[in-house]
Amino acid sequence: MDVPHSTPDTAPPTFDEVVHAPNRLQICAFLDPLDQAEFSVVRDTLGASDSVTSKHVKVLQSAGYLTVSKPTGNGRVRTWLALTPEGRRAYRAHVAALRALLG
């Protein structure tokens, strides 16, 4: 895991179908306060398989909400996930919409 992320991006409350799926919502919630996290940590947090986690990562990535990087160097290649600014805004707007609904 990396250091906490502190950008206060705000957006009006808006439901987001991409974020709304439970596993994708959990991925966004986990990554929101961080700069990035290793794929295996996100997978373990979900309690899901590699393939299920990958499926949801690809949906978030296709929407422009998540970046995936595999920096090369010494040792094994690790996959890192990070919310994009757009992804962070979409997640926070979705949470705001849920909070407004629950009032």
Residue-wise pLDDT tens digits, 3-35: 344 344 567 899 999 999 999 999 999 999 999
**What kind of fold does domain 17-102 have according to CATH?**
Arc Repressor Mutant, subunit A (1.10.10)
Indicate the average pLDDT of the chain.
Answer: 90
Distance (Å, rounded) from C-alpha 97 to C-alpha 48?
Answer: 27
Q: Which residues contact 12 (CB under 8 A, 6 or more apart)?
A: 93, 96
Distance (Å, rounded) from C-alpha 4 to C-alpha 68?
Answer: 18
- Taken in order 77, 22, 16, 98, is the CA torsion positive or negative? negative
pTM of the model: 0.87
pLDDT digits (tens, 9 = 90+) for 74-83: 778 899 999 9
